[in-house]
Structure 1
Amino acid sequence: MKNYKILGLLLLWGLTLSVKAQLRSDSLYKEYYRPQFHFSPEKGWIGDPSGFIYYQGKYHMFWWGKVESKDLVHYKQITPYAMTGQDHNISYFTGSVVIDKNNTAGFGKEAYVAAYTIFEKDSKKQAQGISFSHDGEIFHYYEGNPILDIWSTEFRDPTVFWYEPTQRWVMVVAKALEKKIKFYTSPDLKEWTWMSDFGPAGDNEKSWECPDLFQLPVDGSSKEKKWVMVVSVNWAREQYFIGDFDGVSFKLIENHPKEPLYVDKGLDFYASRTFQDFDETLESKISMGWVATWDYAQLVPSKYGKGFWSIPRSLRLKTYSDGIRLTQTPIEQLQTLRYNKVSMKRTIPVGTRLLSEFVPRENVYELETSFSTDISNTFGFNLCVGEGRKVVVSYDTDSYNLVIDRTHCADVAIPKFDRMTYANVKPVDNKIRLRIFVDKSSIEIFANDGRDVFTLLTYPGEAQTGIELFAQKEGTKMELNAWMLKSVWR
């Protein structure tokens, strides 16, 4: 009888655990404000992308943890914390990951090697270190760290890549308050030699950090390629430079504008990283960024944790009348999430009206639209409408200004959050084209095939799902395709 009682208790205990697990599964990734087609970790904080590679048919993405994906649409979190072996006096700051195919570092052929900033808590010093892994999941601290130390408190965020012409590793790393990017080279990822500095240039108001350097074809040509350097500035946004790199130094192209070229003109896009393709099979360069700004990143109201990454973007260089510029477009795989398509063509009536043809149940959808600009007018969308709040997306055909105002959107008070942004976006063939992705707590807008991009957090209430169309004058024509988007978690 005693054994039956024990068996009964074990069965009851197992059933209880099963019920708890099911309840957890049912609620996970359905939390208030949780994005449904952006990556966010199961719980906790996520910050800068810190190592993006494509290897053995999978995308590997690191922060303090690791996530993998086969399509950059669906994600599998592998570990919440990948690094081991450090003492309690240091923290890991932003970095990158490479595959050491030829065992240059001696950790083994095709070892994963992470390069990152070691932050000493007592001295506040920042130096560069490495860790290695044989499975891409758990990284072991290199006992010879730091591998690069100039005794600075503002020396951080290395991106490391293999430069084939010189058969050497290259590191680009920021000297933050000097607004400089320093270039180093190494044969083995352990011994580093300084080569050159770049900067200050463009936006050099406060700080530079999180540099990335990569090569892109110009206008799709295999004969003409340029290097793009992306730098996060002022703890708030990113700028980019276009130039040439010879393994030693980075030089701007002729007639490069002196004014800053910003990667994203919204309010919340930072510290992006591109995927290094170690399979050499990807057709385009892809990047993702941190959807946050340091002014309020730790204060947003999400309960599962803090922060998420942008949708993946394909990067290209395109020649315009004012020069070569970076363009960003959402990866095509995102189209697999579309359902319940609505299409329409019409002349926008004067005033503001509800878009009754497309009424989303939740803020998880995509809009693809074009507006005629051949008559003088101001028009646009109100998004996340409800409970007296909204996000205004407005275009003025006379000034060419695209204005995004989220001043009255969030359903909770967030310090320094009530802001607006704008940029000069010129029509193409008398049309302004917008592709808009709305997720639970963010909006990403790609204007004119991604020449201008705007990313912003929103944090609306669950009832704020309305869409309104408005125009000040008669005559503006609109074409619209709209889709609901499936959750990548359900």
Structure 2
Amino acid sequence: MSLTKDVSEDQEDIKSLTMNTSLVDSSIYRPLVHLTPPVGWMNDPNGLFYDSYESTYHVYYQYNPNDTIWGLPLYWGHATSDDLLTWDHHAPAIGPENDDEGIYSGSIVIDYDNTSGFFDDSTRPEQRIVAIYTNNLPDVETQDIAYSTDGGYTFEKYENNPVIDVNSTQFRDPKVIWYEETEQWVMTVAKSQEYKIQIYTSDNLKDWSLASNFSTKGYVGYQYECPGLFEATIENPKSGDPEKKWVMVLAINPGSPLGGSINEYFVGDFNGTEFIPDDDATRFMDTGKDFYAFQAFFNAPENRSIGVAWASNWQYSNQVPDPDGYRSSMSSIREYTLRYVSTNPESEQLILCQKPFFVNETDLKVVEEYKVSNSSLTVDQTFGSSFANSNTTGLLDFNMTFTVNGTTDVTQKDSVTFELRIKSNQSDEAIALGYDYNNEQFYINRATESYFQRTNQFFQERWSTYVQPLTITESGDKQYQLYGLVDNNILELYFNNGAFTSTNTFFLEKGKPSNVDIVASSSKEAYTVDQLTVRRLTV
């Protein structure tokens, strides 16, 4: 089936094409457990919620089914999952009225008590779904709402839309939560190029009042987008700390220190109308190139804080290879907590920590496993898995604890590094995560033979990041913990139990990721592998 350009006349073709999940079965780059669109273009995650009656997670997303680049008309794509690893695709949930319009980013709430008046007793309280989104028109962006009586699969637009119109073309991305203390709905929405996150309140999701502005904070870049508020549990609270604190997230594009788009966050207090940060420091959610437009789930099980981001970067997202007829994926679903973490020997800060969230970790099936422990790593002694290159899924993970030996005789001019290399099953290509003894920093090298990577000036292939050691002994030994998830063309790194993360895409010219090697550049015993487990996985 060809992709129609005239969306308004071919709704059934788009529905059929979107729901043809056989298109997802065979691919070159397509991740196995990260959500991708069946065809076309994906960007920001939208409307994340958990249906407790059906035990189903819903993810909507910015979707152009007509092409593999961003463009109008833009829809809310829709996928569901019971395990957050395998996904069922559905017809686009909300679409524009005309081809020069777009249903831009937004959120979903469950209106249990029918504050909106949209529902009657025929709709279960757990499935009273209301979407709040930006309606992008040629000359204005407004905030509109729509409701669903079938659990979030089809929507009816509110007849009196818009619910907020401030006569601006740069006013978007509403994220709505329920604030129990005041029994009100609270919306964060971006006045993008005024560097304002506006906070609105409502009793009924239809009538909104501006309560406050969170303005010009952190790293501003070109514009603010995709704001949100959520609560996160403090893992190691100090005396007098609450059980949870509020987190304000926002995205900037362009303007990331690495180039392009990035997410930042602030920790603080929220009273129902105003967010007050603990400080004005800039903290990035992820130090990789491919993590943007984060959103948290509404109604996550057990009040956990889970969310997902778009795993790409606006600098090059429209140019990455698309041999499978789609572009972009989401990050893994992650759980978020707050933890006091040492950022240098004399300071610690309350940091937003992340880890992959699996409904059941046993849903990731181990095909093969490689382990090593308590071994020195030198140029003459290397380690690595030797999994079969045939029938590889491209899905691997590794869990490593290593020690940098503080008493090793190393001069400043010595190059004493180690690299964890993720190798192709069909060529000598490999991407690498490394550590440099003298600089005390990690570096990432995602260079491959891909023509796109070699010619695109913005697909930065090498950069470094500092991570404070997990522990430092009196003799100067430094220990780090690292978890990595590799899924065909995406690498997610979680340092020191998720205190720091780095999410990056890559494109091998040939084959899929199949094995992991660890090599060192020096004969000096500068590194000890305390524990390493590499697993080849499937679902």
Which TM-score band applies after superposition, normalised by the shorter structure? 0.7 to 0.9
8 Å CA contact 2:132–2:174 kept in 1: the answer is yes
Distance 1:347 1:296 in 2: 40
Tell me how far 1:167 sits from its aligned partner.
1.1
Q: Which runs of 5+ in 1 are unaligned?
A: 1-20
Question: Residues 356 and 182 from structure 1, CA distance in 2 versus in 1: closer, same or farther, beyond 3 angstroms?
Answer: closer
Residue matched to 1:319 = 340
Q: Structure 1 residues 439, 85: closer, same or farther in 2, change over 3 A?
A: closer
Classify the secondary structure of the residue corresponding to 1:51: strand
User: Counterpart amino acid of 2:250?
Assistant: V
Deviation readout 1:222-248 (Å, 9 max, x if unpaired)? 943210011111241100100000001
Letter of the structure 1 residue corresponding to residue 326 of structure 2: G
- SS at 1:470's partner residue? strand
Q: CA deviation at 1:70?
A: 1.6
Q: Which residue of 1 aligns with 2:357?
A: 331
Deviation at 1:29, TM superposition (A): 2.5
Picking from 316, 321, 325, the partner of 1:304 is: 325
Does the aligned pair in 2 maintain the 1:31–1:304 contact within 8 Å?
no
In structure 2, the CA distance between the partners of 1:403 and 1:351, relative to structure 1 (3 Å rule), is farther
Amino acid at match of 1:225: K
Partner of 2:58: 60
Q: How many residues align?
A: 457
TM-aligned CA deviation for residue 91 of structure 1: 1.2
> Displacement, 1:168?
0.9
Partner of 2:90: 78
Please state if 1:180 is matched with 2:196: yes
Aligned to 1:477: 528
SS of 2:44's partner is coil
Change (3 A) 1:484 1:434: same
Q: Compared with structure 1, are the counterparts of its residues 334 and 462 closer, same or farther at alpha carbon in structure 2 (3 Å cutoff)?
A: farther
1:84/1:262 CA distance change after superposition, 3 Å: closer
Deviation per CA, 1:91-127: give whole Å up to 9, x if none.
1100001111111111115421111111112x2x211
Q: Does 1:32 align with 2:28?
A: yes
Is there any run of 5+ residues in structure 2 with no aligned partner, and where? 1-16, 62-75, 255-260, 343-347, 409-415, 472-477
Partner of 2:282: 260
Distance 1:85 1:455, change over 3 A: closer
- Counterpart CA distance in 2 for 1:412 and 1:337 is 31
Alignment partners' CA distance in 1, 2:108 and 2:174: 10
Q: Which residue of 2 aligns with 1:106?
A: 117
Deviation (angstroms), 1:387 = 4.2
State the distance in 1 between where 2:361 and 2:537 align: 9
The CA distance in 2 between the partners of 1:266 and 1:133, in whole Å, is: 36
- Shift in alpha-carbon separation, 1:219–1:353, aligned structure 2, 3 A: closer
Task: Indicate conservation of the 8 Å contact 1:267/1:421, yes or no.
Answer: no
Structure 1 residue 342 and structure 2 residue 391: aligned? Answer: no
1:356 shift after superposition: 4.8
Q: 317-326 or 103-112, which moves further after superposition?
A: 103-112
Evaluate the alpha carbon distance shift between residue 87 and residue 96 of structure 1 in structure 2; reply closer, same or farther with a 3 A threshold: same
Q: Cα distance, 1:185 vs. partner? A: 0.5
Q: Is the 8 A contact 2:50 2:57 kept in 1?
A: yes
1:447·1:453 contact (CA, 8 Å) conserved in 2? yes
**Does the 8 Å CA contact 1:384/1:460 hold for their aligned counterparts?**
no
Residues in 2 aligned to 1:25 and 1:151: alpha-carbon distance in whole angstroms: 40
Matched residue, 2:6: none
Q: CA deviation at 1:205?
A: 2.3
> Which of 130, 134, 145 does residue 130 from structure 1 map onto?
145
TM-score where L is the length of structure 2: 0.80
Residues 110-163 of structure 1 deviation map (CA, whole Å, 9 limit, x = unaligned): 421111111112x2x211111111111011121211111111111110001111
Provide, for residues 197-216 of structure 1, a one-character-per-residue CA deviation record: whole Å limited to 9, x for no partner: 11211111211100111011
- The code of the aligned residue for 1:231 comes to L
Which of the residues 480, 488, 491 maps onto 1:443?
491
Structure 2 residue 126 is the aligned partner of structure 1 residue 115: no
Contact kept in structure 1, 2:253 and 2:314, CA below 8 Å: no
Matches within 5 A, 1:392-471: 392-408=432-448, 410=450, 412-413=452-453, 415=456, 416-429=458-471, 430-463=478-511, 465=513, 466-471=515-520
Q: TM-score, normalised by structure 1?
A: 0.87
How many angstroms does 1:382 deviate by? 2.1
The answer for the alignment partner of 2:210 in structure 1 is 194
Q: Deviations over 1:356-398 (max 9, x none)?
A: 5456554311111111112364212122357454322111244
Equivalent residue letter for 2:133 = Y
Q: Deviations over 1:258-297 (max 9, x none)?
A: 442010100101111111117xx42521111101111111
C-alpha change, 1:437 and 1:41, in structure 2 (3 Å) is same
With over 3 angstroms needed to count, the CA separation of the structure-2 counterparts of 1:102 and 1:70, relative to structure 1, is same
